[in-house]
Chain A
Amino acid sequence: MQKEHKIIMSVYEAKDDLQKADELIRDYIPFIRSEASKCISRFCTEQDDEFSIAMIAFHEAILGYEHNRGAFLPYAAMLIRNRIIDFQRKEVRHQSNISLNEEIGDSDQTLMDKIADERDYIQESANLEATKQEIEELSAVMAEFGVSFSDVADNSPKQQRTIEACTSAIRYAIENKHLLNKMLKTKKLPLAKLVAGSKVERKTLERHRKYILVMLLIHSNGYEIIRGHLRHALNTKGGMSV
């Protein structure tokens, strides 16, 4: 009873504090792994997809836990089980696909080897390195604004309509470069001017403030790779508006 109480305390603390959530999860890795093992009825290594899913399920349990849901650990176990079962069902759908490890012909060569051989390792690792560098740069700038990617993820609009509303605000800012420069100088999002310029409801923009901030940062300068990844989306939007 006492122990259960302690867990609940730390769960509630971990809800808002990422650091504490990480600690809590780290403490319960054995529990998470054992639950995952139960579900797949074999030992679960950290390399298994099921383990990753169990980890995120445990995190979901921390965020979604409420007092009236009963004891925390059984609740977390239930979520882990559900997520793994969901995942396995999804996998069954892809079962008709051949495995990458399947052998081709008489040789010992597997399909994976063959595909892997065709890829350009050097180019790929260079790309990865470049992308990583860009992201780190962006992350450093975001830190100046006191924003992390996790915050943005929590703030990110999900609905298509909201995304469009935010995009129109972002586009307005991009078209008016001085707004971007001012933002970089003052480290503040010029929300009032965005509202006036884009005619989007202030409430919508306020709710997704961090998201808009990051998108503007990405479009301020550099970040070619990230922008290239996004280009598709923004271009169609731009085309539609013109």
Chain B
Amino acid sequence: MKKYIVMECHLSYAVVLDEDGRFLKVANRHYEVGQTVTDVIEMQIPQSIPKKKKTKRWAYSLAAVAATLVMMITIVFQLGQMTYASIYMSINPAVRIDVNRNDVVVGLNGVNSDGNDLIEGYNYKKKDLELVVDELLDMAIEKGYLYEGCKITLVLDAENNEWIVTRSDALSKQLDDYLSEKITVIIEITDKKSNDQIIIPINPNDSDYDDSDYGDSDYGDSDYDDSDYGDSDYQSSDYDDSDYQSSDYDDSDYQSSDYDDSDYQPSDYDDSDYASDSGITDYGF
């Protein structure tokens, strides 16, 4: 056990010397100078609160504000750069013009090789849609893509239908005004969605017709053509042969009681679920 010599006594503490030559302030448990003691309670001065903490907390909030700012700026910038709508312009060279919410061009791509050739070296950054279209037409004329009697097709693609409506009017008018001074061309403006909708009924041979529109209902090809159950079949072959015919049908009751109360109920027959299981089983009876 460590030994300490009491060197000095005070009201609240005593100074002791340990065997390693350390002077310590310890609790004065009624010590006397010169006394040798063994079990001491050393004084521990509480650590001062580091002031760094305060600045740190400050820095945290600053960092949070900075991060938020960066995020906000990024979002705003992203929104500005985000493609809101696209315009496909095809003369022969086809190009796609992407615009943002404010009709400022944010992207310009050639759709075919002529399109790439047309826009080569052209700087669209921060230009309005109308200006870009005008300049592209000028360039097309210069490069010989656009000449008298040419057809320009503009396809508008956007989520917002209102935008399409207003832009198609404005663009056609603007192109008219702009080109009428130079050459005469045919301008056709459509939008992607209405194209889809319009084309389907006009071209009945389109695969879409058979696949989806018709096949959806239970009147699908196979069911419809099913020999066992078809309208026509009922009246001709099936009706006459098969089990059904056996007893009840040949009877005179056919038109009255038996026909109705047998499983071959009229309701089932008229039902759109004609081809369903129940009908077939019923028939089997």
Contact = CB atoms under 8 A, between A and B. Distances in A.
Given A68-B49, A131-B36, A135-B5, 9 more contacts: A22-B11, A25-B12, A69-B49, A129-B34, A131-B5, A132-B32, A132-B34, A229-B5, A233-B21
21 contacts: A52-B41, A55-B28, A56-B28, A60-B43, A60-B44, A64-B47, A66-B49, A79-B46, A128-B32, A128-B34, A131-B5, A131-B35, A132-B34, A133-B34, A134-B34, A150-B8, A153-B23, A214-B23, A229-B3, A229-B19, A232-B19
A-B pairs, top 5 by smallest CB distance, nearest first, are A64-B46, A132-B34, A131-B34, A149-B8, A56-B27
A63 interface: yes
B45 interface: yes
Interface residues of A, number: 55
A150 B25 contact: yes
A47 interface: yes
A150 B107 CA distance: 80
Contacts of A234: 21
B44 A215 contact: no
A2 to B, nearest CB: 25
Interface residues of B, number: 35
Nearest to A67: B49
Contact of A230 (B17, B36, B46): B17
Interface in A194-240: 211, 214-215, 225-226, 229-230, 232-234
A135 B21 contact: no
Contacts of A59: 12-13, 43
A226 B35 contact: no
Contacts of B45: 60, 63-64
B7 interface: yes
Contact of B30 (A47, A158, A215): A47
Contacts of B46: 60-61, 63-64, 79
Contact of A66 (B23, B28, B35, B48): B48
A151 B122 CA distance: 83
A148 B21 contact: no
B66 interface: no
A116 to B, nearest CB: 16
A115 B27 CA distance: 26
Given A132-B34, A150-B8, A226 B17 contact: yes
B22 A158 contact: yes
Contact of B23 (A21, A130, A152): A152
A128 B41 contact: no
Contacts of B25: 56, 150, 153-154
A60 to B, nearest CB: 6
B8 A215 contact: no
B29 A49 contact: yes
B24 A22 contact: no
Contacts of B185: none
A207 B222 CA distance: 102
Contacts of A136: 33
Given A87-B41, A135-B33, A233-B19, A56 B49 contact: no
